[in-house]
Amino acid sequence: MLLHLLCLASASLTLARQSEFSQEIKTLTGSERLITTDSAVPTVSLPEDESSIFVSGTASIPDLSTTSNATASITSTSTKESLTQIVGGTRTTGASGNMTTSSTTTSATPTNTQPCNNYPEFCSRRYSNITEVCAHNSPFVRKNNAASNQAIGVTQQLNDGIRMLQGQTHMVNGTLHYCHTSCDLLDAGTVEDYLREVTDWLDHHPFDVITILFGNGDYAQTDANGKPLVTAVDFVAPIEKSGLKRYIYQPPKTHMKLDDWPTLSELIFLNKRVVTLIDYNFDHEAVPWLLWEFYNMWETPFSPTGNSFPCDLGRPEGLSREDQEELLYMANHNLNVEISIADMHLLVPNYVQLNQTNGVNGTGSLGEMVQTCTARYARPPNFLLVDFYNEGPFNGSVFAVAAEANNVTYDRKCCGTASDAAQVSATHLSLVIAIAVCLVLF
């Protein structure tokens, strides 16, 4: 342990001495992440519809089929706050989901044009019929820290249009923290503090629905009896203490197909505007509202190091093509560079190519991947996972890609002021590698 601390201290001292002479440049920066092993790819056998239904505790969905075009006031079932009725918009039907324009039924122009998730058109769409941008490792924003995946904090992420927040957690002395592979590399603070900031944003944005995907970084740790040490149960305390619990939607089933999800307006009427997912060690009996990701969503291959970005099934294994067509899916579109040190393999986001990676067209672009996946599955991805969402050929390029997938026009301003997290020098990247060496050797 002493050698471990001395090694880390030496690395930090090296940084302090060199930072005076090193010019900050844009280079290969970002997170150090262990390459996902085969053991981290679960094999899923989806439950039958009847066996996935919760016995109790589900929220009822109001009947909105008779709503008129008049502006009205309703009372939220959970907070008793007065909300403006959301009506109108365009409903789309057909296999191509939110991309199709071939078969539409357009209601009369609504007198209320209040947007849901920034677009009035989204209010009448199902949660499963919208493409949103996901901030990969949303909490990992640190000035002059090469372990960052984002350059802007979570409040501004949400202000800019991010509607899915993902991050890796680790247990530190009995408290869940957002840490990147090791808390020695980047500790972004407690999960509770992060969620409290998210809750504050939700308090002030009553017409927005977000998704939170928890990455359980300690999923493989077990006790002497082989039982997992960190499960969904450990997330209850920070979620409840942050105040987020009151906004979380509990679906009627553990396994939600596309047509099972409510519309955004229905979630907003209920004031249950947060969907929570966990990647490993779910517990639907103890925590029914924290859904297992892979009962409800699949992903394309994760952490690619090439710019082909295939639309194949990455996680979980065992899904048939029919299963894929009935679930949400996420396109992982974060380009990395692999660094090998001893037996440790790190994936470092390729910051240099972000203009192309987060672009709307061209080889390796986010736009190209969305088009490819849409053509393959007759519907676009529900979530687009990206690093440094504020970077691209123009401000808001990733949101422009999502807007095109949604058949709406992106005309918002983006993005908030970035910290220096994205302006990482080669010296700081060297520090991350030096710390990694310390962790390997000691």
pLDDT digits (tens, 9 = 90+) for 412-427: 989 987 654 444 444 4
Name 336's Cβ contacts closer than 8 Å, sequence gap at least 6. 30, 33, 303, 304, 305, 347, 348, 349, 350
Strands (E), 89-207: 90-92, 104-106, 132-135, 164-172, 175-180, 182-190
In angstroms, rounded to a whole number, what is the distance separating the alpha carbons of residues 291 and 270? 19
Each residue's pLDDT tens digit, 148-202: 899 999 999 999 999 999 999 999 999 999 988 788 888 888 999 999 999 999 9
Angle at 380 between CA 378 and CA 381, to 5 degrees: 130
Strand 344-349 to strand 164-172: parallel, antiparallel, or no bridges (unpaired)?
unpaired
pLDDT, mean over the chain: 79
Q: Which residues pair with 177 in a beta bridge?
A: 170, 190
In angstroms, rounded to a whole number, what is the distance separating the alpha carbons of residues 173 and 177? 10
What pLDDT does 113 receive? 82
What pLDDT does 171 receive? 95
In angstroms, rounded to a whole number, what is the distance separating the alpha carbons of residues 277 and 290? 5
Q: Which residues pair with 276 in a beta bridge?
A: 212, 290
Active site residue 333: no
pLDDT grade for 96, boundaries at 50, 70 and 90: very low
In angstroms, rounded to a whole number, what is the distance separating the alpha carbons of residues 144 and 402? 30
What pLDDT does 78 receive? 38
More confident residue, 1 or 395: 395
Q: Please compute the mean of the pLDDT values over residues 299-314 and round it to a whole number.
A: 92
Q: Which of 184, 139, 182 is nearest to 158 (CA)?
A: 139
pLDDT grade for 135, boundaries at 50, 70 and 90: very high
Neighbours of 58 (CB within 10 A): 15
231 pLDDT more than 70: yes
Active site residue 136: yes
Structure tokens at 416: 């908030």
Identify whether the C-beta of residue 139 lies closer than 8 Å to the C-beta of residue 178. Answer: yes
In angstroms, rounded to a whole number, what is the distance separating the alpha carbons of residues 7 and 28? 24
Identify whether the C-beta of residue 261 lies closer than 8 Å to the C-beta of residue 126. Answer: yes
H helix runs in 262-410, sequence order: 264-270, 293-296, 321-326, 354-357, 366-377, 397-405
Q: What is the CA radius of gyration of the chain?
A: 22
Each residue's pLDDT tens digit, 320-330: 999 999 999 99
Q: Please compute the mean of the pLDDT values over residues 123-146 and round it to a whole number.
A: 91
Q: Please compute the mean of the pLDDT values over residues 66-77 and round it to a whole number.
A: 36
pLDDT grade for 34, boundaries at 50, 70 and 90: very low
More confident residue, 55 or 274: 274
What pLDDT does 45 receive? 74
CA distances from 151 to 141, 189, 359, 363, 429 (A): 6, 16, 17, 25, 15
pLDDT grade for 264, boundaries at 50, 70 and 90: very high
Domains of the chain from N-terminus onward = 1-25+425-442 (no CATH), 27-63+70-423 (3.20.20.190)
Q: Which residues pair with 332 in a beta bridge?
A: 385
Q: Could you say which of 170, 180, 255, 333 is catalytic? A: 180
In angstroms, rounded to a whole number, what is the distance separating the alpha carbons of residues 141 and 145? 8
Residue with tokens 């820290």: 145
Identify whether the C-beta of residue 393 lies closer than 8 Å to the C-beta of residue 359. Answer: yes
Each residue's pLDDT tens digit, 311-368: 999 999 989 999 999 999 999 999 988 777 666 667 778 888 999 999 999 999 999 9
Residue with tokens 């900031």: 197
Identify whether the C-beta of residue 373 lies closer than 8 Å to the C-beta of residue 411. Answer: no
What pLDDT does 50 receive? 56
267 pLDDT more than 70: yes
